[in-house]
Structure 1
Amino acid sequence: MTYSPVMTETVVCWVLVHMIKGTARRGGDHTDKLREQIDGSTGRKHLLRGS
């Protein structure tokens, strides 16, 4: 089966976007864990305090 260049480009872009989104999500998770260890606040309570 042969793929057109447009289809190949679309698939590559889709994969890259989803990989970047997943990496950013995990980075945010790690940042939340670090913040929780530093200030002891869990969940979204820190947003209510304004910090």
Structure 2
Amino acid sequence: MLRILAARGVPVDGQARQRIGSCTDMATLDLWFDRALKATRLSEVLGDLAQ
């Protein structure tokens, strides 16, 4: 997912990178992945977790 966000030009800060990297819930990861495919901002992927 981080590669998709980078390819789309969406900046990911260290805190968000850690949150994504440490997530082990497959339903959450699937949701974030699907959102990342269309996102232009990190908040569109992580929702309230992103600043």
**Bigger Cα Rg:** 1
TM-score (norm 2): 0.32
Which structure carries more relative contact order (alpha carbon 8 Å, separation 6+)?
Answer: 2
Task: Pick the structure with more helix per residue.
Answer: 1
